[in-house]
Amino acid sequence: MIRRVQQMTSNYLYKWLRSGLHLFRFWSAFIYSKKLKKTVCFVGITGSAGKTTTKDISANILRTAGECFNTPGTENYSHSIAKLLLKVRPRHRFCVLECSGGEPGELNKPLRLFAPNIAVLTLIARDHFKAFKSLEAIAEEKSKLVSALPIDGVAVLNIDDPLVRAIGESCNRKIIWVGKADGATIRLLSARSKWPEPLTLEVKYEGTTYQVPTSFHGKQLALSVLSALGVGLAAGIPLTSAISAVAEVRPAEGRMEVVSNEKDFTFLRDDWKAPHWSFSAPLEFMAEADARRKIIIIGTLSDYSLSASKLYPKVARQALEVGDIVIFVGPHAPRAAKAKRDTGAENLHAFTEIREASAFLNALLEPGDLVLLKGSNKADHLVRLMYNTQNPVGCWANQCGVANFCCDCPRLYKPMPASAAIIPLAGNDSGRKVIVGLGNPGSSYENTPHNAGYRVLDRMATRMNGLWVSFAEGAVCEVDIAGETVSLFKPAAQMNHSGPSTRQFLDRMGTAINDCLVVHDEMDLTLGQVKLKQGGGDAGHKGLKSLVASLGSHEFKRMRIGVRRPDNTNAAKNSVLQPFSDSDETALEPSVDRAVDILLNDVAGSAL
């Protein structure tokens, strides 16, 4: 108790000190920025995508006219702005700040600290849609940067985005429009980006056509280039000087970044974030690429309107139209694997464990391969797939929660203890339901009493048109019951050692004890009986004993399938491994169907 009080006091003190530091830093930056605005030209950049690349190019263009401070990396959240402003010096002629606006009201605080002389708004899309509920609300938040411009300020806006265009038409400030549409100040005539050639733009400004070579890949980055050229014009820099500066900028990490190695295969990293609406652009790039083989690896997607059970198969089918090999990694991988049923594709692979995906990829890669990594860094850390082709990675944690990339993490090549990725089962509360069927893997055990659990799940998967996918722990099939996704799981270990692999799967799915149901054979029930019960002992059943030991509880629900034959005189060990006779099969078959009916009703009832 004393230790708990000490810990609470320590946490409270830490939060109080941190809050005090933020407040002190805010007011220091507020006072300091008032002095800076007399000599420093501030550039603010926001939008649903392209901010970091626009910031990097803009800063390099502005350096042709004087010293420039800019946001390092992706420190674009409101609490970072005060800290960054305190690093600006009077000698800096320009300061380029990337502003997120990822939730309602987020831009209010930084805009109290600085007023942009130049404001850039790239586009409005579904990024952070859950926080705003509508595109119009997102646009309203982003528009605050433009509204903060002084009377002599300049807005650089995307003329092709209707919501951005509406903001510009009502801002009463000078506007430099960029984009394809008529009326653009810097008009995009064409964009070419066919691997291995980099992105090249053809633009028109004041009646003259210019070629804009870059070191980027992907036509979607054309908007960032155009916006940065607009910043240069707003700052009085000749367009020719700005174009020369563009070619010097390399892609930011994880944003269509190309990484090649001595083994002659190339990774295209687009793994910083993966809102669904952004997926079509890298897919188009891969479709047009000239490569020996195109391998597409997809992790966790975000900001989508469909249910995950519908989205991931859809994305898988789209990727299969482009990629020679498509690999899904993470907890949604089994959902993507459903596309196999529709397409019959043998080149679609799914791994819930990134370590298993890495082993598969390392055995697969050949010289000349182009590999796209598309995922959310915080959720997936897919970059480990690339690092593991160079040196053995030690950390394979599924959800470490660190937002930064792995390159500077001391744990990347440090061996991880076996328990490091394990979350206590009692703490899981995701509600994902899992039905575990006990049995022995291998065809020689298929028709034996000990495989009753396997048998019931196989029947259930067939009835629900499910597809089994093999993973390290066992076979997984996802089915929809009463609008709820339920995972069917058959451990790959022998019956008597099925606990550890089951525990590992439940941990990864975030499944609590009360959301787990185990189907197993029962010698105390006569052949054909089916009974559902909550909790209980193991009754000498070594498979249940292994589960109880691994899960740390015997309170899981179980379905018992009677397998005691009327004429049974053999020892239990021999009886459960003795194949069923024809008469046994006749007695058992109806009970398998009855068991499936009971399971479906039980899950549907709990979903109400």
In contact, 238 and 206? CB cutoff 8 Å: no
What is the residue type of 2? I
Burial class (CB within 10 angstroms; exposed 0-12, middle 13-18, buried 19+) of 259: middle
Contacts of 576 (CB under 8 A, 6+ apart): 448, 449, 450, 521, 523, 563
In contact, 519 and 434? CB cutoff 8 Å: no
Contacts of 502 (CB under 8 A, 6+ apart): 436, 473, 474, 489, 491, 547, 550, 551
Output the CA–CA distances (angstroms, integers) from residue 198 to 216, 256, 386, in the order listed: 6, 11, 21
In contact, 48 and 123? CB cutoff 8 Å: yes
Name the token pair of 464. Answer: 């629900």
Output the CA–CA distances (angstroms, integers) from residue 138 to 13, 78, 346, 423, in the order listed: 36, 16, 41, 36
The string of DSSP codes covering 376-418 is -HHHH-THHHHHTTTS------S-----S-GGG-TTTTSPPPT
188-213 core/surface letters (b: 16 or more CB in 10 A; e: else): beebebebeebbbbebebeeeebebe
How many C-beta atoms surround the C-beta of residue 419 within 10 A? 6
Q: Scanning the structure block, which residue is given the tokens 């991988």?
A: 333
109: phi then psi, degrees, rounded to nearest 5: -65, -50
Distance CA 466, CA 437 (A): 15
| Count of all residues that appear for the chain in the document | 608
Distance CA 214, CA 429 (A): 48
In sequence order, the β-bridge partners of residue 518 are 436, 558
Q: Scanning the structure block, which residue is given the tokens 């050639």?
A: 197
Count of helix runs (H) and strand runs (E) in the chain: 21, 22
Give me the catalytic one of 128, 217, 450, 520: 450
Q: Scanning the structure block, which residue is given the tokens 């009077």?
A: 90
What is the residue type of 268? L
In contact, 95 and 69? CB cutoff 8 Å: yes
50-74 core/surface letters (b: 16 or more CB in 10 A; e: else): bbbbbbbbbbbbbbebeebbbbeeb
Distance CA 190, CA 226 (A): 12
Is 92 a residue of the active site? no
Q: Scanning the structure block, which residue is given the tokens 């605005």?
A: 37
**Catalytic residue list:** 450
